[in-house]
Amino acid sequence: MTYMSVVSVRVDEKVKKVLEEAGVNISREVKRFLEDLAWNIEVKKRVKRLNVILNDVLSAEEGFSSSSVREDRESN
């Protein structure tokens, strides 16, 4: 079960009027924006953690790729 929180936002009356006249569902758009923002924040945090992990990984030694490919070709 997902619990929902209430978020209240105050905007200029003119802004609300323009959005309502355009048929914008303000609640849905604000919810979508905040969900996307939260997702982007989570992604940035995870990328940061992955970068820390990748910084600890040693680079392959010079010529490893070509010797590995050569070995694979010769084994077939």
Domain count across the chain: 1
- Residue 37: give the domain boundaries: 13-74
What is the rounded radius of gyration, in angstroms, for the C-alpha atoms of the chain? 25
Cα three-residue angle 44-45-49, rounded to 5 degrees: 115
When pLDDT is cut at 50, 70 and 90, the band that residue 76 belongs to is low
24, part of any domain: yes
Tokens, residue 41: 């924040």
pLDDT at position 74:
84
Q: Is residue 33 in a domain? A: yes
CB distance 26 to 19 below 8 Å: yes
Query: Is position 6 within any domain?
Result: no
What would the pLDDT profile of 13-69 be if each residue is shown by its tens digit?
999 999 999 999 999 999 999 999 999 999 999 999 999 999 988 888 888 888 888
Q: What is the pLDDT of residue 71?
A: 84
What pLDDT does 29 receive? 97
